[in-house]
Structure 1
Amino acid sequence: MLPLSSRSLCLLAGLGLASTACAPTYQLGLKPAQSTGLFKDGREQVLAVADSVEVRLSFVCYEPTRVVFEAEYYNPTKRTLVVDPAAFQYEASRVAASPLPEGQKTKRPKPLPGMEVTAAVAAASMALPLPPLPPQALAAFDPEPEITALKERADKEAMKAARVDWLGLALGVASIATDVASITRNNETRAQYETRAAIRDAAFTYNSISSATKIGHAVAAEVMQARAADLQEYALRKVTLEPGFQVRGYLYFPRYDAADGLVVKAPVGSNAVPLEFVQVRKRL
């Protein structure tokens, strides 16, 4: 199951193509280019077989800047197989825009609710420019550097959260000392009172800000630790697959909304097998 934080991101990102006022809104999705009838956890899988190795791929969700697939390998052979997420790539394609009838070239298309449209039609209906396709195949993210970086940043944030604030401590001590001194005085002058109040207010204000900053560092550390833990548990990581074994995990690719088709190339030994998906936009 997708972790809660990722599910929330996917839900928000899946509503994808928001637009300006009065323009249509579209829900973005990915599905196999050809229906396969193969399902895992409610998601339809694309199947490819190379050198007797079975590879299955299904779309999981969109994150704000990434698209997430789940890959599944089964190795029935008598040889080992190295599965490396960094070796996955996808190529984006687009359906050519249909020419409009004469006299309608300046009119924006108005797809009906529930209609699935191409990237060109969606862009035209929102009066947005259609960006060029990526000039080359896009590689999947290798989770290992990200896991390491997240752990290091989480440790730094945790250290900042636990660090003793000596200035705040000194201000607190000074405030207490002036309050105690005021008790022993018979007649506290107005200037002494104002000095004591100023020290007390400065100590309170500084320590309030310091506490809020520490809480911010602690929350940041927790978020990064949770993300690192999610990647460790759910991401597909480089592994040697022994004969008769299988492995599954999430693949994270750069998200590219302005494509109509994605061909994911999955590595099998020295070869790569294509798994085809179409990217659809449904008018809300």
Structure 2
Amino acid sequence: MRRIILVACAAGLSWGLAGCAPSYLLAIQPAWPDTPGEKSQSAVFDKYIDSVEVAVGFVRYEKTELIFQVEVINDSHQAVVVAPETFYYIPLDTSAVVASTTAALPIRVDALAPEQYLRKLTDQLNEQVAKSEKVGFLEILTTVTHVVEDVSSIKKQETDAQIAERDQRHQDENAAFDGLRETHAGQADQIYDQRQIVERFLLRRDTLRTGQRALGYVHFPRTDAANRLRLVIFFNERPIPFDFTQQRGK
């Protein structure tokens, strides 16, 4: 089975530094905590910039997303603005990977803005709820057809087998529509649960006073075709880079 792991190393404060600190192995599927952990069990590394601690840990892959845990602790004497929507990563060392694919890689990949992400989930939830309650045109037409068949059968000399066949067909068609609504209801339940979890754990825009702390998850679109990802965290519009090495394993 193909799997992908991330190895993280703290990038130098200067963008020009080529070396990195000792690597930290990040598990691809660490357990989802009940609350964002004090420190993730996967590798977390810190940087202290002007009395502000910034800690980043890889959480897991999802089908189309990468999820990181970010913690900012303000021990300075001034307010610190944390804005997850300004975070991004840059795919690096992609030449060997790109050579084997025709897909163009983005120059940078922005974090999924928290409020927009929640609105998207809400829209998906509302859509599935509506579909779970809706009686569509095709179902109405099918019901009318059933009534017409039942009425017209009165004038016919149907055998017991024909009557049973017609009744069974009507039941099957009605059950199919009911099943479709149940499917949408189940999807609505899943999206609702997902939204509750995301809303609880998502890192949101905040202004931290002295001694305050922000901790939560930041979602990014996946870019598998990159050997390194340079994750850039901002506070007070100041970029703090963290490098991750993406390895492909069997």
With structure 1 as the length reference, what TM-score do the two structures score?
A: 0.65
Matches within 5 A, 1:198-209: 200-209=167-176
Report the secondary structure of 1:276's partner residue. Answer: strand
- Equivalent position of 2:70 in the other structure: 71
Deviation at 1:170, TM superposition (A): 5.5
Q: Does 1:29 pair with 2:28?
A: no
Alpha-carbon spacing, 1:167–1:261, altered in 2? closer, same or farther (3 Å):
closer
Residues 243-280 of structure 1, C-alpha deviations (whole Å, 9 max, x = no match): 21111111112222222222211101021111122222
Q: What is the aligned-residue identity percentage? A: 23
Structure 1 residue 76 displacement after superposition: 1.2
Question: Alpha carbons of 1:192 and 1:268: their partners in 2 closer, same or farther (altered >3 Å)?
Answer: same
Compared with structure 1, are the counterparts of its residues 171 and 192 closer, same or farther at alpha carbon in structure 2 (3 Å cutoff)?
A: farther
Q: 1:173 to 1:256 in 2, by over 3 A?
A: closer
Compared CA separation, residues 246 and 36, structure 1 to 2 (3 A): farther
- Would you say how many aligned residue pairs link Structure 1 and Structure 2? 222
Q: Is this contact kept in 1: 2:7–2:23, CA < 8 A?
A: no
Match of 1:270 in 2: 237
**Contact 2:85-2:111 at 8 Å conserved across structures:** yes
How far the C-alpha of 1:164 sits from its partner, in A, is 5.5
Q: Distance in 2 between matches of 1:68 and 1:129?
A: 26
Structure of higher CA gyration radius? 1
Where do 5+ consecutive residues of structure 1 fail to align?
1-14, 19-26, 97-119, 183-187
Q: Is the 8 A contact 2:230 2:243 kept in 1?
A: yes
Is the CA contact 1:74–1:246 (under 8 Å) kept in the aligned structure 2?
Answer: yes
- Partner Cα separation in structure 1 for residue 142 and residue 189 of structure 2: 26
Structure 1 residue runs of 4+, over 4 Å off? 130-133, 168-175, 192-199
Indicate the RMSD between aligned Cα atoms, in angstroms.
3.5
Whole-angstrom CA distance in 1 between matches of 2:167 and 2:159: 12
Q: SS at 1:256's partner residue?
A: coil
Checking the alignment, whether the CA contact within 8 Å between 2:40 and 2:59 is kept in structure 1 is no
- CA displacement 1:141-170 (0-9 Å, x = unmatched): 112212112222212322332346784995
